[in-house]
Chain A
Amino acid sequence: MSNPDNNIDANSKILDDVTAADYKYGFTTDIDTDVIPRGLNEDVVRLISAKKNEPEWLLDFRLKAYRHWLTLKQPKWAHINIPDIDFQAISYYAAPVKKDGPKSLDEVDPQILATFNRLGIPLEEQKVLSGMAVDAVMDSVSVKTTHRERLAELGVIFCSISEAVKDYPDLVRRYLGSVVSYRDNFYAALNSAVFSDGSFVYIPKGVRCPMELSTYFRINAQGTGQFERTLIVADDDSYVSYLEGCTAPMRDENQLHAAIVEIIVEDRAEVKYSTVQNWWAGDAEGNGGVYNLVTKRGLCRGESSKLSWTQVETGSAITWKYPSCILAGDNSVGEFYSVAVTRNYQQADTGTKMIHIGRNSRSTIVSKGISAGHSENSYRGLVKIAAKADNCRNHTQCDSLLLSSTCGAHTFPVMQIDNPSAVVEHEATTSKISEDQIFYCNQRGIPDEEAVGLIVNGYAKEVMNKLPMEFAVEAQRLLQITLEGSVG
C-alpha cells in the first residue's frame, strides 16, 4: 500500500487535469445588437413593454412587479457566496438587429443561423431536427421557432411568449403569474418586471405532442442579463416533453440570468421538463460566469396529473434553482431528477420542493451532486405534506460524490409532515469516489481519468436515463467533458 498522502496528491493532480476542460460554446457572434442603456427604472420597464408592443394589462403586470421588487432585498439564505449584484449596471434588453428590414417572417440573419448551427441547433427548414421543434432565443428575443405549422395542425401552440401575448392574449393572461407570482421572490419579481422573451406552449385536451419541444437559450451580448419566461399549459389528458438548453460566451464579467418557468398540468395530463444547463461557468480562477438564478415551478392542478423535472446542471458560476411541484390534484405525481456538477469555484444550491396537497399524491426525488476543485455543491429540498393530504408518499435519495479535498458537499432537506398517513423517506450519503473501484478499473487497463468518467457516469445514470434520447447522449458527453481534469 502506498503512502496515502502521495495518493491524494496524485489524485488531485488528475482531478485538476480533468476539470480543466475547455468550454466549446464560449465564442461570441458578431452581429448588430439593439441594446438599451444599462440601468433599471420604471421608464426602462415601459420601454421594454413598448418595444414589444405589449397590451396595457401586461405593462401593468410589469409595473406592479417592479414596484414590488423595489421593496425586496437580494436573498442570502442559500449556501452560496453571492456578491451584491449592481442591478443598475445591467442592460435589460438586447435584441439582434435584423438587417435591411425583414423580407419574410421566417427569414433569420445568416449570422444567427451560423451561431445556432455551431451550437448544434440547425434552424433552416431543410435541416431542422425532425423529432424536435425548437424555439431559439438569442439574448432577449426569440429568433426562430421550427415546426410550427405541423404542431398547429394538432392544435398545439408553440411560439415565443411575445407572439403568444399578441396571438393568444386570453390564454397568456389567464396563466401568466398563476404559479409563480411576481411576489414570489426577489428574482421572480425582477423577471416579472423585465422579462423579454421565452417560450409559450399549450397542449390542447387529449393531445399527445408528437415531438419534443425545445427552447435553446443563448446569451450573446455583453453587459446584458437574460430574463426569459416560459409558460407551459397541458390541458386534460395531454402529454408533452419539453427540453431546455443554454450556453453563453466566455466573458470576464458575470452575467445575470433570472428566468421563470411556470407549468400548469390539468387532469391526467403529463409534462416532462428536461434541462441541460451549460451556461459559461467562469474560468479556473473563478472569474466571470453566469449567475443562474431561476424560479421553476409547476402546478399539478388536475387529478392524476404528472410533472417530471430532469436537470443536468454543469455550467454557471452560481446556480440557484429549485424546480418544484405543487401537487394539488388527487393522485398527482411529482418527480425531480438532478445531476449537478460543480468544479473550480462554481457554486450550486439546487434542489426541489414537493408540496403535497392532493390525496394519494406521490413524489420522487433523486439528486446526485458531484463536486470538484474548490466548488460548493448543495442540495436543498422541502417535502411538505398538508394536513388534508391523505396517503401521500415521498422518497428522496440524495447522494454527493466528492472529487477533491477542497470542495464542499452539503445536504439541507426539510420535511414537514402534517398528516399521519404519509410515508416520507429521505436518504443521503456523502462519499468520495471509491479507490477500490478506480483500482479495479486500473487493473483492467483503464487509466484513472477514464475510470472516473465511467464511475461518475454510472453514478449519474439513474438521472441521465430520464432524459430524452437526443439529450441523453449530449448530456453524457457534457458530463465527461466537464469532469476532464477533475479527477482525484
Chain B
Amino acid sequence: MSHFKQFTRLIEDYPQFFNGDRKAAEIESFSQSLLADDDGFIRRFGSAVAEMMKPDYGVNVNGVTSPLMPAAAIRRNIPDFAPITITCVNDTYHIPHLSTDQRVKCAVYDADNFPFPINAYHTPSHFNRIFANKILHISIDGGNNDETAIQINNILAAAVDLAAFRRVFVEIGGGANLELILNDSSDSTPHNYFASQFVEIFLNEGASLNLYDITDTSDTTSRLNEMKIKMKRNCRLNIFSLSASAGKSVNIYDIDFESDNSEATINGFVVGDGNQRIGNATFVNHLSRHGKSNQNFKYVLDDASHGTFYGEIFVWEVARFTEAYQSNRNILASPDARISTEPQLLIYNDDVKCSHGATTGQLDAAALFYMRQRGIPEAVARTMLTQAFVGDVIDAIPLLPLRDRMRMLVEKRLYKRSSRPCDNCRMACDTINRDSKE
C-alpha cells in the first residue's frame, strides 16, 4: 500500500470518518486490488502515482462545501456553445436549476444514500470509493434522440495543498444522445492539488455518447482518473482524451461491449513538457458479437516529460465478428523525454480482425526540409508539424466549438514553446480558412 501511504495513514489516524460496514468492505477491496495488481496498474503507473503523492494533501473529511466561484466558472465556458453547465469546485458539485428540461436529471447524493451499487473496477476507482462522499448522478431519459449537451467544469482552488474526490454516475436512456464534456482546469498556483475522479457510464440500447475528457491544468496538479463505460446493443461511443497540460496524471478508460453491434472509438492526445508524467490505459473488452473498436493515441513529449501508454484489447470467445484496432504514435522532442508503450492484444476466438501498431520517432525530415525550402524557419516548421501530428485527433471532434477551442489550446501551448511569436498560428487564420472555403 506504500503508493497511497498518506491516505492509508489517514484512515488509520481518523477511524471515525471511515467506520461502518460499507467503508470496511471498501477499504478491504482497495487493499486487495493493490496487492493483487491483476490489471498491472501499480506495475505500470506506480511510479507516476508515487510522484503524485509527494505533497502532503489536505482531505476534506468533514464534507465542507466549496462555494461556487461564478467568475472562474464562466471563464471555462466554450464560445458559441450553450450546454447545461455543472461546476465542481474541488469536491462540491453546483448544479443548475433544470425544471425546463424534464429529460435530463442531475442530482447530488450522499454516498450513503445512493440508490445504485457503488462499483469499483481498477485500483483508482477502489481508491476513489473510500474517500468520495458525494456522487453526481446524471440521467438522460430515452425514447427520443434529441441531443443533450452537459459540461462539467472541474475547478481546483484552495489556499492549501488539497486532495479532491469526485464521482460521477451517468445513465443514458435507450436511443438518447449525449455530449458530455469534462473540463479539468486549475490556474497556475503555488499549491499542489490532487484530484481523484471516477466516472461510470451506462449506455442503454441504441444510446450514443460523445465524451470529452479535457485536462488543462497547472504543473502542480495531479489527477488519477478512471472512466468505466458499459454499452448495451447498438450503442455508439466516442471518447476524446485531450491532455493539453496535465501535470501528473493517469487516465484509465475501460469499455465493456456487453451486447452486440456497438461501436466505440477512443481518440487521445498528450502534449507533455516540463516534468509532466502522463499515462493513459485503455481496456476495451469485447464481450459480445459484431463489436467495433478503434483507438488512436498520440503523444508529443518535450523537456523531461514522461509518457506511458497501455492499451489492451480483449476479445472473448463469444465475441465473434469483432473488429478491434489500436494505434499509438509518439514523438520524443527532447533528450530527456521518455515514452513507454504497451499495446496488448488478447484474442480468444478466430473470427476477428484485430491489429495494433505503435511507433516512436521524429518529425518527418523530408517534410521539414520541404517547409524550410519554402522559407519557413525550422522552429516554426517543427511546431506546425507537431500541431499537424495531433491534428487528426482534434479534427475528429464532432462538436465544432470545442474543436476550435482545442485547436487553439494546442496552438497556444506549442507556440508558447517555440521562440517565434505566434503570427503563423491558426487563431489568426480562422477567418482565412473559412473565407477560402467559399
Contacts and interface: CB of A to CB of B under 8 A. Distances in A.
Asked if A and B touch directly (CB within 8 angstroms), the answer is yes
Interface of A: 8, 387, 400, 402-432, 488
A415 B350 contact: no
A411 B358 CA distance: 13
Interface of B: 317, 320, 330, 332-335, 337-362
B351 A430 contact: no
B354 A429 contact: yes
Contact of A431 (B334, B339, B352, B361): B352
A278 B177 CA distance: 56
A77 to B, nearest CB: 10
A294 B256 CA distance: 37
A457 B438 CA distance: 56
Contacts of B361: 422-425
Contacts of B348: 407-408
Contacts of B351: 8, 405, 432
Given A430-B347, A432-B350, A411 B342 contact: no
A412 B362 CA distance: 24
6 contacts: A406-B349, A423-B360, A425-B359, A427-B355, A429-B354, A430-B353
Given A417-B340, A421-B362, A426 B350 contact: no
B343 A428 contact: yes
Given A430-B355, A432-B350, A411 B345 contact: yes
A387 B356 CA distance: 26
B352 A432 contact: yes
Contacts of B333: 420
A422 B339 CA distance: 11
A426 B357 contact: yes
A400 B347 contact: yes
A117 B59 CA distance: 76
B360 A427 contact: no
A420 B307 CA distance: 13
Contacts of B350: 402-405, 407, 432, 488
A97 B428 CA distance: 88
Q: Is the interface of A mostly helix, strand, loop or mixed?
A: strand
B353 A431 contact: yes
Given A404-B350, A420-B333, A420-B334, A430 B345 contact: yes
A428 B362 contact: no
A61 B355 CA distance: 46
Contacts of A430: 345, 347, 352-355
B357 A412 contact: no
Contacts of B352: 402, 430-432
Contacts of A407: 348, 350
Contacts of A405: 317, 320, 349-351
Contacts of A416: 338-340
Contacts of B342: 412-415
Contacts of A427: 355-357
Contact of B358 (A400, A410, A413, A421): A413
B334 to A, nearest CB: 6
A241 to B, nearest CB: 32
B308 to A, nearest CB: 10
A402 B315 CA distance: 13
Contacts of B335: 387, 419-420
Nearest to B315: A430
Contacts of A429: 354-355
A426 B345 CA distance: 13
A114 B276 CA distance: 67
B115 to A, nearest CB: 40
Contacts of B332: 417, 419-420, 422
Given A404-B350, A422-B361, A427-B357, 11 more contacts: A400-B347, A403-B350, A405-B351, A411-B356, A415-B360, A417-B338, A417-B341, A420-B335, A428-B357, A430-B345, A430-B354
A402 B362 contact: no
A337 to B, nearest CB: 20
Nearest to A378: B346
Contacts of A402: 347, 349-350, 352
B349 to A, nearest CB: 5
Given A420-B334, A432-B351, A410 B346 contact: yes
Contacts of A412: 342, 344
Contacts of A414: 340-342
Contacts of B354: 429-431
A423 B331 CA distance: 9
Contacts of B339: 415-417
B42 to A, nearest CB: 14
Closest 5 CB pairs of A and B: A402-B350, A420-B332, A432-B350, A411-B345, A423-B361
A413 B356 CA distance: 10
A357 to B, nearest CB: 16
B148 to A, nearest CB: 38
Contacts of A406: 317, 349
Contacts of A488: 350
Nearest to B44: A414
Nearest to A431: B353
B362 A423 contact: yes
Contacts of B355: 427-430
Interface-central residue, B334, B337, B359, by most chain A CB under 10 Å: B359
Nearest to A421: B362
A413 B311 CA distance: 11
Contacts of B320: 405
Contacts of B358: 413, 415, 424-426
Contact of A426 (B346, B353, B359, B362): B359
B357 A415 contact: no
B345 A410 contact: yes
A423 B344 CA distance: 20
A439 B336 CA distance: 53
Contacts of A400: 345, 347
B353 to A, nearest CB: 6
A411 B344 contact: yes
A430 B335 CA distance: 35
Given A417-B340, A417-B360, A428 B349 contact: no
A438 to B, nearest CB: 13
Contacts of A418: 338
A367 B335 CA distance: 31
Nearest to A385: B360
B335 to A, nearest CB: 6
Contacts of A432: 350-352
A408 to B, nearest CB: 5
Contact of B343 (A8, A404, A413, A431): A413
Nearest to A380: B344
Contacts of B346: 408, 410
A405 B347 CA distance: 10
A410 B359 contact: no
Contacts of B340: 414-417
Nearest to B324: A430
Nearest to B329: A425
A416 to B, nearest CB: 5
Interface-central residue, A400, A407, A418, by most chain B CB under 10 Å: A418
